[in-house]
Amino acid sequence: MTLFIAVHKWKPEEEITVMKEVVALFTAGKPPEGVELCAIYGTGAQGAYCVWNAPCKEDLEKLFEQYAPILKKGTEFVPVVQSYPPTMEAILGLYQNIIKMASK
């Protein structure tokens, strides 16, 4: 499972449309297998950051294309690794970097 941060931005004139799409997105039923919303952080100025778990970026893109196409136009899905609290993925990445540095 990959962790993604969705960076959302929209124009002021799209505010009501985006809110309608968000309602549709969260009331449409179950998301695709393995897709889970973890957190939402609003900027208060036509923007938000959302944290998602998903098998792949394409699964998120399909979900937004289906229920929130206007919001999707101003969205970038960025794969990230949680470093605090540390996850196994973060620890392994750290170890791999240490091994590379020690090998030089």
User: Could you report the per-residue pLDDT of 38-51, keeping only the tens digit for each?
Assistant: 999 999 889 999 99
User: pLDDT digit string (tens) for 25-77?
Assistant: 989 878 889 999 999 999 988 999 999 999 999 999 999 999 999 999 999 99
- Residue type at position 93: G
What's the farthest any 2 CA atoms get from each other in the chain?
A: 55
Nearest alpha-carbon partner for 58 in 79, 40, 42, 39: 79
Position 82 scores a pLDDT of 86
pLDDT-derived band at 80, boundaries 50, 70, 90: very high
Position 98 scores a pLDDT of 93
Burial class (CB in 10 A: 0-12, 13-18, 19+), 92: exposed
The pTM for the full model equals 0.81
- Per-residue tokens: 7: 């960076």
Q: Looking at the domain that runs over 2-102, which CATH code has it been given?
A: 3.30.70.100
